[in-house]
Structure 1
Amino acid sequence: MVQDTRPTTGAALVLGLPAAPLRRYVLDYRGYRMALDHPQRRLEVPTDVVTVALAFEGTMRLTDAVSPAPGVSFGSVAAGLRRTATIAEQSGVLHGLAVSLTPQGAFRAFGPVAGELGGQWAEAGEVLGPRLGTLAARLADAPTWRARFALLDGHFTALFADGPTWEPDVVWAWRQLRRSRGLVPVRALVEGTGWSRRRLEQRFREQLGLAPKQAAGILRLQRTLSLLTAPDERFARADLAALCGYYDQSHLDRTFRGMVGCSPREFLASRRSAATPQPADRVIGRITSAVLDPDLSELT
């Protein structure tokens, strides 16, 4: 399926779903072409998604939203699971596409490199090899987005056919974390796998890129964001904190700020007041982003 949306003059977003056999590992494809007349800043929150963005034209500048340091500019970028949010800045022409992978799919496609990407961004061609550069060139030359998505289907079908798989105990532990939305205690995962806590953490870092506790924190954050932004759900602040696995509202606020770089209230305000009327989220079914006011140099 290909869905073409044109949210603003000079910008286009095209959503593609992978072939059905790939959907266990590939969440979606997103083609984009933007010609921005002023810089745009997006806040990208932690998610349980590995992203590979292949640029045909233009670059983006990425900065950690919680511990700001000099930003790094990328053309094509691979982003592993991160516990802290990212600020992505872009201007001028930006043309390319992004692939959203489950952590298990990233490991199947890229092997141990997927674990090494945990907590960081990297130039995609440098970590994923020259084969990716060849794919990017073919994608850029393809005549339509539908043709590009078909090329991606073929590429990932071949990668998954003989790629490595997670150990069964990692699959089980990740499933428990997902089902509980990050609430299952790490000690229960240790008991269920029969591994030591150290071995469990080592396997998670090797195959997902983060320790189980960090992965659980991302899932709790996503649950919190889902409830905060649901149009028909209203919770008392204390009830929301308890439902999402926090001791109290203060604990939720501290954890949220430590992962996103702002309070929940500030994040929601950014989503509501963004001057750019385009879809904020970059992955189907997840709260991922806020378009920030270009006149603000900081979140708070």
Structure 2
Amino acid sequence: MIRNTPPGTVLGAPAAPLRGYVLGYRGYRLALRQPLRRLEVPTDVVTVALAFEGTMSLTDAVSPAAAASFGSVAAGLRRTATVAEHAGALHGLAVSLTPQGAFRAFGPLAGELGGHWAEAGDVLGPRLRALTDRLADAPSWPARFAMLDGYFGALFAYGPDWDPSVHWVWRQLRHSHGLVPIGTLVEGTGWSRRRLELRFREHLGLAPKQAAGILRLQRTLNALTAHEDHPSEDHRSGHRPTGADLATRCGYYDQSHLDRTFRAMVGCSPRAFLAARRTAAALPGPAERITDRVSGRVTSTVLDPGGSGS
């Protein structure tokens, strides 16, 4: 039995002991009159979405191919954006994991997820059905989030740890927003460049250079949307950063390099992405149509609002 949860989106924080591994929970129950398409940009987040009702169609935004349809899905770190579409009715929840949390929960399968989507059952195994049923029958979103705390807390208690050198590399990449030279990472670990890439792929599913690109993109997206969301701060300072300023700050050679990289990863220009966010923000209707999935990260925008995909 699925409880009669009111339509909307609810964000939940994990219990304190889990916060190095779980970034947050997001419950949703959508009952829209038309399909919804969202562009999900690359982030340093591993997502597990558990469906109570409805399915999603996922397509690579940069290299479109035949779409894959999922109920419950696990998505590893991806270098390119994803277009996610559903018919308008969707009920379930998503768990946002750090890469360390994904490895501790799923072991080597976390590395195999890199760049891919997979049926959540391929990661969680036969326990997925029982977990999803229990979550669906819970009386409230807080009860579901508490259930997830217990479930993932048990996985983390006995899961494998990252190699200390991989942890150090990831910390350097995170602190520098992807700008630390690979040579510095090689020297810091004492590994060869090939071994560094192999070990990093085993843990995160991507090479260090690819992970650095995602972190640079996230810094760029945060800077772009900050200027959109707080234009008065630019006015008070008397200076709105130019594209060249932004490119330099975020580790690109110039504005052209930023634009090419953005298109190669997101599938559109920065200008088009911001325009879609502005249009989505102006739409009447529920906030879940425009909410980013993870606090502190720019994760998505609605596509074609007002059209067939609004």
Give the counterpart letter for 1:63 in structure 2.
Answer: T
Q: Is 1:12 the equivalent of 2:12?
A: no
Alpha carbons 2:35, 2:308 under 8 Å: kept:
no
- The alpha-carbon deviation at position 74 of structure 1 amounts to 0.4
- The alpha-carbon deviation at position 262 of structure 1 amounts to 0.2
Separation in 1, partners of 2:61, 2:308:
12
- The alpha-carbon deviation at position 11 of structure 1 amounts to 3.8
Q: Is 1:247 the equivalent of 2:253?
A: yes
Q: Which residue of 1 aligns with 2:116?
A: 120
Structure 1's unaligned 5+ residue stretches are 1-5
Separation in 2, partners of 1:242, 1:100:
30
- The alpha-carbon deviation at position 133 of structure 1 amounts to 2.3
Q: Which structure has the highest strand share of the two?
A: 1
**Residues 254 and 104 of structure 1, relative CA distance in 2, 3 Å threshold:** same
Q: Is 1:266 the equivalent of 2:272?
A: yes
Partner of 2:296, secondary structure, is: coil
Separation in 1, partners of 2:46, 2:128:
16
- The alpha-carbon deviation at position 130 of structure 1 amounts to 1.1
Alpha carbons 1:113, 1:128 under 8 Å: kept:
no
Counterpart pick for 1:208 among 175, 180, 204: 204
Alpha carbons 1:35, 1:91 under 8 Å: kept:
no
Q: Which residue of 2 aligns with 1:3?
A: none
Aligned Cα root-mean-square deviation (Å): 1.6
TM, length-normalised to structure 1:
0.94
Q: Which residue of 1 aligns with 2:237?
A: none
Structure 2's unaligned 5+ residue stretches are 235-239
Alpha carbons 2:106, 2:123 under 8 Å: kept:
no
Q: Which residue of 2 aligns with 1:182?
A: 178
Aligned 1:26-175 pairs, distance under 5 A: 26-175=22-171
Deviation sequence 1:59-115 (CA, Å, 0-9, x none): 010000000001111000000000000000011320000000000000000000000
**Residues 78 and 276 of structure 1, relative CA distance in 2, 3 Å threshold:** farther
Q: Which sits farther off after the overlay, 274-283 or 232-241?
A: 274-283
Which stretches of structure 1, 4 residues or more, deviate above 4 A after TM superposition?
A: 294-298
- The alpha-carbon deviation at position 289 of structure 1 amounts to 0.4
Partner of 2:39, secondary structure, is: strand
Q: Which residue of 2 aligns with 1:25?
A: 21
- The alpha-carbon deviation at position 276 of structure 1 amounts to 5.7
Give the counterpart letter for 2:299 in structure 1.
Answer: T
Separation in 1, partners of 2:174, 2:219:
10
Separation in 2, partners of 1:72, 1:276:
30
Alpha carbons 1:280, 1:291 under 8 Å: kept:
no
Separation in 2, partners of 1:74, 1:53:
10
Separation in 2, partners of 1:36, 1:295:
13
Q: Which sits farther off after the overlay, 268-277 or 34-43?
A: 268-277
Separation in 2, partners of 1:259, 1:297:
24
Give the counterpart letter for 1:265 in structure 2.
Answer: R
Separation in 1, partners of 2:111, 2:308:
33
Separation in 2, partners of 1:166, 1:22:
16
